[in-house]
């Protein structure tokens, strides 16, 4: 039955939910004070990571943390001012990193992520931007045998779930891509992965197509809800209300402010990430490459070369610390020593992250016409289209293709 559905959040996740809902015949209103795709979804590394079923919290990771906190270029930093606020989240993160939990998380994430390109392709075709999916793989680059071996568990978890992995060592690496540094001793290739050369253009194209097919975009902040008989009937926005038959919360790192009003409080935090965008690069890697030690990606994009990554735990309100972006620039030159470039643009964005590296996707346990689609952390671009289809399935009263019980808000 055709319903009026309000989607809160015009990031890549909200836009994919809206697109799939519209294709199922629902009338969609997207509520967001910002233009489509201009918050976290703007600046990611662009990878469609089918292989990213490995959660961040792995057994033994905590041993690396003290060293990382002393190093301004390390993959993780925790603001001293925010440490007491983030402590309960870190404790949950630690509890999720036992081998038994890691296996269950990988089993839940793999079906969600592995189908990403199949779920994205109809959306890009409909939006007329097929060129924004490039499927030529990506690679992880290591500068020593020890660094390569320290990621063995991640490879094992992927291989067990059927991810295709190839290894290049020594001179074969520069034969594959002469732009890469001779320091790189091991290049782990994931040939089935894809990337998007312009994530912002992708979001804008989805929004334009939605609008052309009748979706309304309301440029206001959602503040709360009005309910009758245990169902949401209106979304309260800055300047009034939006009547609705169903609501989807896809407000990225701000989603808990809304879901908790519907009785689903979740430990959502932001893992702040950075990028530098380098105009007119003299060279780019053949395929996106992640630095195995630094955990940042160098991705060739339409506007230049993007170096994106790092995790900073400092909350939603602290100003960006662009020294972290500068460290990424230094990292780019380590990966690609002959790189020269023009203007450098720095960016910081708020990944919406739950401590077990899994999103919240599903119907509210308390309010039957409220749905959740947030908390995708490091894989929001990848999981956006699969999430959109799942939300459209359950809003329409059907069953999703995959088991989503692990993504319930009630798991916390």
Instruction: Give the footprint of ligand FAD on this chain (CB under 6 A).
Output: 8-14, 31-34, 39-41, 43-47, 49, 221-222, 250-254, 273-275, 308-309, 349, 351-352, 374, 376-382
User: At its nearest, how many Å lie between ligand FAD and the CB of residue 165?
Assistant: 18
User: At its nearest, how many Å lie between ligand FAD and the CB of residue 175?
Assistant: 26
Q: For ligand FAD, which is the closer residue by CB, 11 or 137? A: 11
Are 66 and 43 contacting, i.e. CB atoms less than 8 angstroms apart?
no
Residue 314 structure tokens: 């400092």
Q: For ligand FAD, which is the closer residue by CB, 102 or 328? A: 328
Residue 83: CB partners within 8 Å, gap ≥ 6? none
Whole-number Å distance between alpha carbons of 205 and 224: 29
Strand partners, 374: 360
Whole-number Å distance between alpha carbons of 27 and 73: 47
Q: For ligand FAD, which is the closer residue by CB, 385 or 395? A: 385
Q: For ligand FAD, which is the closer residue by CB, 24 or 195? A: 195
Q: For ligand FAD, which is the closer residue by CB, 185 or 390? A: 390
Whole-number Å distance between alpha carbons of 319 and 225: 30
Phi and psi (nearest 5°) for 233? Answer: -115, -25
Q: For ligand FAD, which is the closer residue by CB, 11 or 362? A: 11
| Calculated CA dihedral for residues 304, 302, 309, 331, nearest 10 degrees | -20
Whole-number Å distance between alpha carbons of 77 and 327: 12
Query: How many CA atoms lie less than 13 Å away from 188 in the CB half-sphere?
Result: 25
Whole-number Å distance between alpha carbons of 101 and 303: 40
User: At its nearest, how many Å lie between ligand FAD and the CB of residue 211?
Assistant: 16
User: At its nearest, how many Å lie between ligand FAD and the CB of residue 328?
Assistant: 9
User: At its nearest, how many Å lie between ligand FAD and the CB of residue 294?
Assistant: 12
Whole-number Å distance between alpha carbons of 118 and 110: 14
Query: How many CA atoms lie less than 13 Å away from 106 in the CB half-sphere?
Result: 26
Q: For ligand FAD, which is the closer residue by CB, 9 or 400? A: 9
User: At its nearest, how many Å lie between ligand FAD and the CB of residue 280?
Assistant: 22
User: At its nearest, how many Å lie between ligand FAD and the CB of residue 31?
Assistant: 5
């Amino acid at each position: 039955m055709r319903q009026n559905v309000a989607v809160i959040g015009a990031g890549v996740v909200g836009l994919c939910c809206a697109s799939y809902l519209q294709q199922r015949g629902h009338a969609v209103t997207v509520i967001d004070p910002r233009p489509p795709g201009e918050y976290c979804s703007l600046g990611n590394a662009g990878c469609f990571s089918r292989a990213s079923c490995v959660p961040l919290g792995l057994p033994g990771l905590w041993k690396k943390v003290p060293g990382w906190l002393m190093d301004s270029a390390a993959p993780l930093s925790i603001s001293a001012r925010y440490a007491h606020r983030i402590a309960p989240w870190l404790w949950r993160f630690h509890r999720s990193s036992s081998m038994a939990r890691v296996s269950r998380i990988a089993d839940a994430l793999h079906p969600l992520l592995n189908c990403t390109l199949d779920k994205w392709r109809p959306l890009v075709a409909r939006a007329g931007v097929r060129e924004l999916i490039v499927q030529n793989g990506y690679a992880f680059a290591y500068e020593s045998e020890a660094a390569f071996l320290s990621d063995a568990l991640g490879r094992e978890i992927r291989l067990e779930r059927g991810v295709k992995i190839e290894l290049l060592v020594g001179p074969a690496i520069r034969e594959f891509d002469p732009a890469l540094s001779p320091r790189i001793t091991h290049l782990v290739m994931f040939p089935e992965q894809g990337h998007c050369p312009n994530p912002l253009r992708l979001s804008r194209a989805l929004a334009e197509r939605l609008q052309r097919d009748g979706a309304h975009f309301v440029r206001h902040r959602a503040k709360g809800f009005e309910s009758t008989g245990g169902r949401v009937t209106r979304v309260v926005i800055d300047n009034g209300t939006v009547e609705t038959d169903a609501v989807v919360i896809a407000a990225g790192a701000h989603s808990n402010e809304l879901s908790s009003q519907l009785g689903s409080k979740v430990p959502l935090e932001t893992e702040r990430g950075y990028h530098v965008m380098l105009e007119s690069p003299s060279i780019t890697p053949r395929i996106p490459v992640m630095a195995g030690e630094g955990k940042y990606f160098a991705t060739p994009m339409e506007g230049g070369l993007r170096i994106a990554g790092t995790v900073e735990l400092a909350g939603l309100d602290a100003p960006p610390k662009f020294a972290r972006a500068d460290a990424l620039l230094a990292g780019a030159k380590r990966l690609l020593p002959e790189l020269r470039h023009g203007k450098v643009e720095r960016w910081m964005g708020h990944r919406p992250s739950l401590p077990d590296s899994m999103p919240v996707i599903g119907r509210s346990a308390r309010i039957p016409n409220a749905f959740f689609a947030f908390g995708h952390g490091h894989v929001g671009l990848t999981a956006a289209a699969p999430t959109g289809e799942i939300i459209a399935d359950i809003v329409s009263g059907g069953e999703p293709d995959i088991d989503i019980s692990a993504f319930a808000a009630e798991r916390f």
